Chains A and B, each alone.
Chain A
């Protein structure tokens, strides 16, 4: 069955370190998204991509970067981790630009100490 996976599921890192969170989908979707969810709040968009070599900034992109070298993967990099980036990170994908459903990964809980 097609799916979307994230790794690692839990990560503890120190302030200033570079961290990369992986997202892999086997739906063959063109659209992929990264969101963060802070405790007690909804999701906020970090970066998104509509296809290979396409990346776009979302609402809260400062301190994050993404790259899209193939259809299946959209890794999220924290260039220099800060305590304010402690959060749960969700990756999502969707089929077409105007598709109404997004499929979410299980999330990665990141703690920056």
Chain B
């Protein structure tokens, strides 16, 4: 079974600084995908970034980057130059890639990020 652990229930960061949100995972699968979602107070789930288990380079999407360390089974999200609008709950998720089970996601419990002006 897959498991996602986010050990930081809440994080604070000063505006314009960088912040790292931790995520560790556990799986016996060789092929999987790791995701980060943002959930603002309005409640919708916003896809941020994806990392495949066989991708050799860390994924980046604008101010978001994923620090993928496969041997440590960690997939930390780095947000550079934080903005007030980044204040939200952030979820790390994992999905099995093999065809028979693809699409089913396992989510962590989330980290609430607060950006201070």
Contact = CB atoms under 8 A, between A and B. Distances in A.
B66 interface: no
A97 B35 CA distance: 16
B105 A31 contact: no
B89 to A, nearest CB: 9
A33 B104 contact: yes
Interface in B50-99: 50, 52, 91, 93, 95, 97-99
Contacts of B104: 33, 45, 48, 58
Contacts of A33: 103-105
Contact of A42 (B47, B95, B98, B107): B107
Nearest to B104: A45
Interface residues of B, number: 24
Interface string A73-113: 00000000000000010101010111111111011000000
A94 B105 CA distance: 12
A68 interface: no
A99 B110 contact: no
Interface in A32-81: 33, 35, 40-45, 48, 50, 58
The 3 closest A-B pairs by CB, nearest first: A42-B107, A104-B45, A97-B102
Interface of A: 31, 33, 35, 40-45, 48, 50, 58, 88, 90, 92, 94, 96-104, 106-107
